[in-house]
Structure 1
């Protein structure tokens, strides 16, 4: 008898036994699909997928800080950033699984939907992939990615619950921006001011997140609100076109400030796009921060932290936009740099509504 005939005969005998009915194939397939959906949902929560949309802007802002056009190496930097970010997300929950069992039992690890061994393995794999992608972006990129990965692991395993925790998280976000600069242009120092602004925002949000699971004080939310106001102003202060005598253009030669040889760059009024993005950044966080300061309950604090994470996107876009008219040597180069920065800033800003939609399905914190 063939294999198919034996199966049909067995099904027929099962159907003939009183009180026993064969399980419909559709029901089995439905249960299998349901299990797969639950597994995917658990991993989406563990990876905090909506937060991923806050990552690409780091590398793009780093490239823009050197007025460099994003290229293939920038994409490697973005891929590296995404992997290292997810390594941090998974490792964070793995390290906190005992605390989450008491404070957040619904999370994937304490609820048993994801095994701790699988989470730790994933964190290691994401880290290895992130470093490999950085290596494809060039030695300068790998030189930044290595301390970035070390910072991520140090934060999750050792520094998170210490006073140094928020500073480590801020350093990681700043290094992520420098990774984009190093991969795209082979150097990162000119991107330090942008990295400092982004790191300051991250410092405020991370400090606020420390009271997500308990009744806190208004101090952290008020500090985050003040930080947002200061950064909204600072991000609009962009250099006038031209280079200081100590800054190299992406093409290599040294240039002085255009029209003012030998002098450092000055500041001028922000472009409309930069101003609009700065306002969008402030609006994203102002109301949630204010509510959390008036009532620092866990629920309102979590909402404020989520808003702070999403606000990273318009801040990145503003940093990119303000770089469009920096240091170039000709009017044509200025126009090209401005157009590139504008397109990149708008593309980055477009990630914000997408992140908001996904955050309605999967928690961003």
Structure 2
């Protein structure tokens, strides 16, 4: 393998490229929640989400580089395959790209993307190892759905809140389960989050749809 190929492989490992396939569904769920077909704004939201997700991946390894040097020395940063400064610069550049794409979908989408970016950076730089970590992770997934809804419709829709909240509650449950498994611990938190997910799913299923005549047309573009 050539040096360039090895370098590209290191970046693919840092950014966890296979996980990108999990991202577009959030924006598509947001479009569905407001009763609109995916359009130009939806695809801008997907691009924004992908950039912000990858920014989080790069920032995560930059923030954990000292810990990884002890526990995961094979990772791209502690192994020296990627410089920490390059990873941090990538996180900044990807965040800027994500915000720029969302801005092209309109101000409401830009506001949602800004909140999502702040959550991603807050999680990686301080919240991840605190009790607020799972909540921040859950908020990020919910905001991703709202980004898709806002970019598709050109508005911040209350009708997207049940779907966003349900996904956030599910993410909270999964994150809490993962955290408790590593500590061998208490099942109360994941069970509580799971109960919230089920309750919110039921509420979402009963939520009234916008009348056909009042559905917001997709933003021109």
Counterpart of 2:205 in structure 1 is 238
Instruction: State how far apart, in whole Å, the 2-side matches of 1:75 and 1:111 are.
Output: 36
Q: Do 1:62 and 1:178's aligned partners in 2 also have CA atoms closer than 8 Å?
A: yes
Counterpart of 1:71 in structure 2 is 39
| 3-state SS, counterpart of residue 210 of structure 1 | helix
| Deviation per residue, 1:56-100 (Å, 9 max, x gap) | 000000010010111001100000000001101110110011111
Instruction: Flag structure 2 segments of 5+ consecutive residues without an equivalent.
Output: none
Q: Do 2:170 and 2:193's aligned partners in 1 also have CA atoms closer than 8 Å?
A: no
Counterpart of 1:34 in structure 2 is 2
Within 5 Å, give how 1:135-154 maps onto structure 2. 135-154=103-122
- Tell me the C-alpha RMSD between the 2 structures: 2.8
Instruction: State how far apart, in whole Å, the 2-side matches of 1:99 and 1:211 are.
Output: 20
Instruction: State how far apart, in whole Å, the 2-side matches of 1:53 and 1:123 are.
Output: 19
Instruction: State how far apart, in whole Å, the 2-side matches of 1:59 and 1:231 are.
Output: 22
- Alignment of 1:55 onto 2:23: yes
Q: Do 1:204 and 1:223's aligned partners in 2 also have CA atoms closer than 8 Å?
A: yes
CA 177–103 in structure 1, closer or farther in 2 if over 3 Å, else same: same
| Deviation per residue, 1:272-313 (Å, 9 max, x gap) | xxxxxxxxxxxxxxxxxxxxxxxxxxxxxxxxxxxxxxxxxx
| 3-state SS, counterpart of residue 13 of structure 2 | helix
Instruction: State how far apart, in whole Å, the 1-side matches of 2:137 and 2:175 are.
Output: 7
Q: Do 2:45 and 2:101's aligned partners in 1 also have CA atoms closer than 8 Å?
A: yes
| 3-state SS, counterpart of residue 113 of structure 1 | coil
Counterpart of 2:157 in structure 1 is 188
Match of 1:85 among 39, 48, 53: 53
CA 103–235 in structure 1, closer or farther in 2 if over 3 Å, else same: farther
Consecutive aligned runs of 4 or more in structure 1 exceeding 6 Å deviation: none
Instruction: After TM superposition, give the deviation of residue 231 of structure 1 in Å.
Output: 4.0
Instruction: Flag structure 1 segments of 5+ consecutive residues without an equivalent.
Output: 1-32, 253-365
Q: Do 1:46 and 1:90's aligned partners in 2 also have CA atoms closer than 8 Å?
A: yes
TM-score, length basis structure 1: 0.54
Q: Do 1:159 and 1:168's aligned partners in 2 also have CA atoms closer than 8 Å?
A: yes
| Deviation per residue, 1:159-206 (Å, 9 max, x gap) | 111111111111111101100000111223211111111111211222
CA 51–243 in structure 1, closer or farther in 2 if over 3 Å, else same: same
CA 44–178 in structure 1, closer or farther in 2 if over 3 Å, else same: same
Match of 1:216 among 146, 159, 183: 183
Counterpart of 1:203 in structure 2 is 172
Within 5 Å, give how 1:1-365 maps onto structure 2. 33-185=1-153, 186-210=155-179, 216-217=183-184, 219=186, 223=190, 227=194, 231=198, 234=201, 238-239=205-206, 243=210, 249-251=214-216
Q: Do 2:42 and 2:151's aligned partners in 1 also have CA atoms closer than 8 Å?
A: yes
Larger RCO, structure (CA 8 Å, separation 6 or more): 2
Instruction: State how far apart, in whole Å, the 2-side matches of 1:251 and 1:40 are.
Output: 43
| 3-state SS, counterpart of residue 214 of structure 2 | coil
**Structure ranking higher in helix proportion:** 2
Instruction: After TM superposition, give the deviation of residue 49 of structure 1 in Å.
Output: 1.1
Q: How many residues align?
A: 216
Q: Do 1:205 and 1:224's aligned partners in 2 also have CA atoms closer than 8 Å?
A: no
Q: Do 1:134 and 1:142's aligned partners in 2 also have CA atoms closer than 8 Å?
A: yes
| Deviation per residue, 1:306-330 (Å, 9 max, x gap) | xxxxxxxxxxxxxxxxxxxxxxxxx
TM-score, length basis structure 2: 0.86
